[in-house]
Amino acid sequence: MKAEDLKNYGKGLVDSVPDAEAARRIRQASRRVRELLRAELGDGLFEEHATRVSQEIERVKPQALHALEARGLHNRPIAEGIVRRIAIMKALADLLGMDRASAVQRRLLDITLLDLMTPMWPTVEDYKRCDDPPRAFMDYTKGSMNANVRDGLHDIVWTDDSPTALAFDVRYCAWHEAAKALGDPYLCYPSTCYGDEITIPTVLDELGGVFTRKGTLAQGAPVCDFRYEFPQTDSR
């Protein structure tokens, strides 16, 4: 079994489709996010937050969607979802201040992200059934990232593709672009980038790999430098 045999191989976020059970889990996790946010904010601030999210989307939607389309993202629902995700973080930061809002957002992702995102992607067990699990993970990642580039979500440069490592620099990110449109590039980090620090190690740790990233566009770095290493692997 190889990477090509895994679900949604060669697809990025635009094309990946969850099965019925995965879709159910995603709906449950989305409801859980709303419940947790209401508990964190209280009813009054929760309603105020919802109002502010709508106002932010209305304010920036035309220019944000234009900017995303100009970079090749032509899937309108995905683009609108990206703008909404950043608007949620913007409204939260306006209400609570960036530090507290970031802490709240990280807690929400810690609790719900795996159920929200991973149903569309292979599990650790899926990779372990492959002939060469580390190689399957790296090949699957290449297919997904190349699809994201094709669909206008990212612009990347591959910096390593060896038997024991895969690395790439993200020079453009649609979520970062939306955050700029909403007035603060950093909004992308707690709302989106932080999720990488949850989902990627969940898989790599079980496969004997290590994930490193020295910086992100959202934090002011020139690129998001992703690196996956498998020090105990010699895939030839």
Q: What are 20-73's pLDDT values in tens digits?
A: 766 777 777 788 888 888 998 999 999 999 999 999 999 999 999 999 999 999
Identify residue 194 by its one-letter amino acid code: Y
Residue 229: phi, psi to the nearest 5?
-125, 145
Strand order in the sheet with 154-162: 154-162, 165-173, 224-229, 210-213
- Mean pLDDT of all residues belonging to the chain: 91
For residues 187 and 219, give the distance between their C-alpha atoms in angstroms, rounded to a whole number.
9
For residues 52 and 64, give the distance between their C-alpha atoms in angstroms, rounded to a whole number.
17
pLDDT at 119 over 70: no
What is the pLDDT, as a whole number, of residue 235? 45
Nearest to 187 by CA among 69, 61, 78, 101: 101
Question: Averaged over 195-215, what is the pLDDT?
Answer: 92
Structure tokens at 118: 């991973």
Which CA distances in Å does 233 have to 77, 132, 133? 40, 9, 10
Q: Return the ∠ at Cα 108 (arms to 69 and 217), rounded to 5°.
A: 40
pLDDT at 234 over 60: no
For residues 26 and 112, give the distance between their C-alpha atoms in angstroms, rounded to a whole number.
9
| pTM of the shown model | 0.91
What is the pLDDT, as a whole number, of residue 140? 95
Residue 58: phi, psi to the nearest 5?
-60, -35
Burial of 174 (0-12, 13-18, 19+ CB in 10 A): buried
Structure tokens at 10: 């060669």
DSSP label of 211: E
> What are the boundaries of each domain within the chain?
3-229
The three-class DSSP label of residue 6 is coil
